[in-house]
Amino acid sequence: MANTKFIKSEFFFEEDVRESVAEVPVDKHQPWPENEKLKVVGKEIPRIDGYDKTSGTALYTFDINLPHMAHAKILRSVWPHARIKSIDTTQAENLPGVLAVITHKNIPEIKWFEDSFLFDTKIRYEGEEIAGIAAETEEIAEKALKLIKIEVEELDFTVDPGQAMKETAPKIHEGGNIVGGNPFTYERGNFEEGIKNADAIIEETYSTQVVVHNPTEPHCSVANWDGDKLTVWDSTQAIFTVRGVVSRALNIPENNVRVIKKYMGGGFGSKLAGGKYTVIAALLAKKTGRPVRLTLDRREMNLAVGNRPDSVQSLKLGAKKDGTLTAMSHYAYGSSGAYQSGAGCSWPFRTVYQCPNVKVEEYTVYINAGPGRPFRAPGHVQGTFAMDSAIDLLAGRINMDPLEFRLKNYAEKDQVYNIPYTSKKLREAYEAGAKAIGWEKRNKQPGVGTGRYKTGIGMGTQIWWGGGGPPAYVTLKLNRDYSVEVLAGSQDLGTGTYTFVAQVASEVLEIPMERISVILGDTGVVPYGPPSGGSVTSPSISPAVRDAAEQMKQKLMKAAAAVLSLKENDLVYKNGTVSSKSDPSKSIFLSDIMGKINEPVLVTTGAREANPEGYMIQTFGAQFADVEVDTLTGKVRVKKIVAAHDIGRVLNRTLLENQFHGGIIQGIGFALMEERIIDGNTGKVLTTNLHDYKLPLITDMPEIEVIIVSEGDPMISNTGVKGIGEPAHIPTAAAIANAIFNATGVQIKSTPMTPDKVLMALSQNS
């Protein structure tokens, strides 16, 4: 690696600010010019894994078939809250074809979550792991599950966060049901003063539902031991996290664990954590002496591998007649599930709009249900729905155009840390988006339309970190035949990591895409890279690729200087050939350089440089929705979404659009149809299949227009890239909600805004 230093660096991952000391390159490369000037980066290039994925040859963890492989299943609790008194596995063990059964009784105690274990005798949610079984086939393992006899003491349960917060509620953990014991609080200025100065005040409560990631490929692992070396194929967004979890759980050194993930069928945050199933597969593989595959089914996916916490948010906002926000308060609670996760959703509220007096108090509450996990912009989707709904209501109170209201309260600086942004082009996004949707066509008076179908236009604002940061490394191998392999400690979730890594290398080295291959997702071969979440992958990895490639170029120039006996500063690199500026007849192709120096493969390692100190990096954007509400049925059809965002540099327009489409349509799912429903009387989840848990279909998609107002953010890195996966998803629901408001004059204050809610709200209004 080139010259490096260690620096303190701050970066945001999902909802957390992470301060780390990281090794970063000393020399920064000149930031790239605007996209038009680049040859490969920013272009519409088909993804390089397209062949594998359309031919059926792409091997997912789900498809791994090792010789002599056994199949495992997990016994999960049918009770929401219980204490196990006894487990009898005799019958299961005696079933022909069963190879091994593990429970808390016959494995070492493995700590998990805050005060629990891999197999805990206290059950805190329906779907919690009780035992694992390996058998010759998955079917036999499933049958054996039913033969395990369990005696439990059932405990009172609570599945509603509002109820769980009360003193009288059944306790899920010793310390009570409020995660951390206290709310998160934040305050700036003086809220009460601010309210006094307001001409208009609104006070409303909004709520959002629990939604479940439901990636198509189930969570699954294949574990195979060779002596004390363990190889795990895992459908994961975070190979190094899984390696750490497995090594700690099994108490073996990390070098003995190799985690591989080539392709995965989606994650959306649900595959950011090391899973119990992975460790169970490894334990069963050890016990049976055979490779073991453990795949969750759709029901398990809907019970036990994460969700977006719900929220109840009470907002109070005040503004002057001229639109100036004077005070904002946010009181919220949401369910963590049975173990610690984050239900906080106030970040946008604290920082999107300029306001001197802000107060926040939010609670994350344990309930007897599957624990939450980050889900595509955790907190922000819920928070933005409530915040932007309230903003439109307040703007209406003072008869101000909601867009004008937002511009009036435009924040030039980050208000929480009181530091400037590296760049902020939200104003441009507002302008471009409003123009594209035809903002002037919106109802000046909400709900004025007549007839069965009422149309309306609404908007929402997005903020999200997405700047990435160190540590992130890339190894680049240049072969003498003018081909390249790039190894990155990252993973491709379907977001296009393989492709943009190749593009960046191709851009710098001027080697065609076809001659570049990319290797990701194998802890045994790739250098460290961050988990693929928080929209950090492209902003963290792309600068490291560029660094590695630039170093390779430097190396070739140095070698060429020696080979040609010329001064380095007299040389230029073009398309793999180094030539003399002063005497163009003197030139040498990289294959010849490498031949001369007798190096069949040249290697460099690149690193992500530090983020600038004293600046806040954020992505910004606005989405505009044009909807049609059927007043006879309450059904909302989203006709069009315009997404206008500032997300730094575009690496690949095609992949970018696809990401936006996904984020927006998932936003429609959140806004209009998806919901995990728990039966309050039994504490059991009712929506455990893909018919009761409704995901959007091709027939639910609107027309989508994606506008990018940024050309790159040179302050943050040598590629100027910010993430897009999460920004794309954040403001959709808010924009739809406000469009419904604009169409009907009625605000729907809880998601999903299903026809029954809309219809009842309309009928109560008329």
The residues in 426-465 that bind another protein, with binding defined as CB under 8 A, are 452
* Residue 63, binding choice from ligand FES, another protein, none, Cβ under 5 to 8 Å by partner class: another protein
Interacting residue with another protein among 46, 180, 524, 600 (CB under 8 A): 46
Query: Binding to another protein by residue 193, rule CB under 8 A?
Result: no
Q: Which stretch binds another protein (CB under 8 A): 252-260, 365-373, 420-428, 753-761?
A: 753-761
* Residue 96, binding choice from ligand FES, another protein, none, Cβ under 5 to 8 Å by partner class: another protein
The residue assigned the tokens 């994460």 is 306
| Type of residue numbered 13 | F
Give 58-117 as a 3 state SS string.
Answer: CCEHHHCCCCCCEEEEEEECCCCCEEEEEEECHHHHHCCCEEEEECCCCCCCCEECCCEE
Query: Binding to another protein by residue 404, rule CB under 8 A?
Result: no
Query: Binding to ligand FES by residue 494, rule CB under 6 A?
Result: yes
Distance CA(88)–CA(26), nearest Å, equals 61
Interacting residue with another protein among 151, 404, 440, 613 (CB under 8 A): 151
From residue 290 to residue 329, the character string flagging contacts with another protein as x (rule: CB under 8 A) and all else as - is -------xx-------------------------------
| Type of residue numbered 283 | L
* Residue among 218 and 396 whose Cβ is closer to ligand FES: 218
Nearest to 620 by CA among 459, 430, 436, 438: 430
User: The dihedral of CA 539, 542, 544, 550: what is its sign?
Assistant: negative
Distance CA(106)–CA(118), nearest Å, equals 12
To the nearest 10 degrees (0 to 180), the angle between helices 732-744 and 755-765 is 30
In this structure, are residues 744 and 446 in contact, taking their beta carbons and an 8 Å threshold?
A: yes
Query: Binding to another protein by residue 697, rule CB under 8 A?
Result: yes
Distance CA(345)–CA(364), nearest Å, equals 10
- Using CB under 6 A, count the residues that bind ligand FES: 4
CB of 216 to ligand FES, least distance (A): 4
CB of 687 to ligand FES, least distance (A): 16
Distance CA(284)–CA(224), nearest Å, equals 10
* Residue among 435 and 757 whose Cβ is closer to another protein: 757
* Residue among 265 and 420 whose Cβ is closer to ligand FES: 265
Query: Binding to ligand FES by residue 216, rule CB under 6 A?
Result: yes
For residue 314, count CB atoms less than 10 angstroms from its CB and return exposed for 0-12, middle for 13-18, buried for 19 or more: middle
CB of 652 to ligand FES, least distance (A): 16
* Residue among 62 and 405 whose Cβ is closer to ligand FES: 62
Question: Which residues ranging from 198 to 227 are in contact with another protein (CB under 8 A)?
Answer: 214-218
The residue assigned the tokens 């649900």 is 270
Interacting residue with another protein among 427, 635, 640, 715 (CB under 8 A): 635
Q: Quick one: tokens of 758?
A: 């809309």
* Residue among 218 and 745 whose Cβ is closer to ligand FES: 218
* Residue among 266 and 512 whose Cβ is closer to ligand FES: 266
Q: Which stretch binds another protein (CB under 8 A): 177-185, 340-348, 673-681, 743-751?
A: 673-681
From residue 61 to residue 80, the character string flagging contacts with another protein as x (rule: CB under 8 A) and all else as - is -xx-x---------x-xxx-
* Residue 262, binding choice from another protein, ligand FES, none, Cβ under 5 to 8 Å by partner class: none
From residue 58 to residue 97, the character string flagging contacts with ligand FES as x (rule: CB under 6 A) and all else as - is ----------------------------------------
Whats the size of the chain, residue-wise?
766
Distance CA(125)–CA(81), nearest Å, equals 6
In this structure, are residues 624 and 642 in contact, taking their beta carbons and an 8 Å threshold?
A: yes
- Tell me the Cα Rg of the chain: 27
In this structure, are residues 602 and 477 in contact, taking their beta carbons and an 8 Å threshold?
A: yes
Query: Binding to ligand FES by residue 138, rule CB under 6 A?
Result: no
Please report which residue ranges of 511-626 form alpha helices under DSSP H: 537-564, 590-596
* Residue 680, binding choice from another protein, ligand FES, none, Cβ under 5 to 8 Å by partner class: another protein
Exposure pattern of 328-346 as b/e (b: 16+ CB <10 Å)?
Answer: bbbbbbbbbbbbbbbbbbb
DSSP secondary structure letters along 501-520 = HHHHHHHHHT--GGGEEEEE
* Residue 689, binding choice from another protein, ligand FES, none, Cβ under 5 to 8 Å by partner class: another protein
Q: Quick one: tokens of 392?
A: 């439109």
CB of 325 to another protein, least distance (A): 34
> Which residue minimizes CB distance to ligand FES?
216
Exposure pattern of 496-519 as b/e (b: 16+ CB <10 Å)?
Answer: bbbbbbbbbbbbbbbbebebbbbb
Query: Binding to another protein by residue 765, rule CB under 8 A?
Result: no
Q: Return the number of other C-beta atoms located less than 10 Å from residue 153's C-beta.
A: 12
CB of 384 to ligand FES, least distance (A): 24
Q: Which stretch binds another protein (CB under 8 A): 395-403, 429-437, 453-461, 697-705?
A: 697-705
Residue 394 CB partners (closer than 8 Å, separation 6+): 200, 202, 317, 319, 405
β-strands 587-589, 577-580: how paired? antiparallel
Query: Binding to ligand FES by residue 218, rule CB under 6 A?
Result: no
Query: Binding to ligand FES by residue 266, rule CB under 6 A?
Result: yes
* Residue among 266 and 595 whose Cβ is closer to ligand FES: 266
Query: Binding to another protein by residue 514, rule CB under 8 A?
Result: no
Instruction: Give 699's DSSP letter.
Output: G
Interacting residue with another protein among 31, 162, 265, 512 (CB under 8 A): 265
CB of 52 to another protein, least distance (A): 7
Query: Binding to another protein by residue 356, rule CB under 8 A?
Result: no
Instruction: Give 494's DSSP letter.
Output: S
* Residue 408, binding choice from another protein, ligand FES, none, Cβ under 5 to 8 Å by partner class: none
* Residue among 50 and 175 whose Cβ is closer to ligand FES: 50
Number of H helices, E strands in the chain: 18, 34
What are the backbone dihedrals phi and psi of residue 483, each rounded to the nearest 5 degrees, phi first? -130, 160
- Using CB under 8 A, count the residues that bind another protein: 101
Q: Quick one: tokens of 322?
A: 């001229």
Q: Which stretch binds another protein (CB under 8 A): 274-282, 319-327, 478-486, 679-687?
A: 679-687
Q: Footprint of ligand FES on this chain (CB under 6 A)? A: 216, 265-266, 494
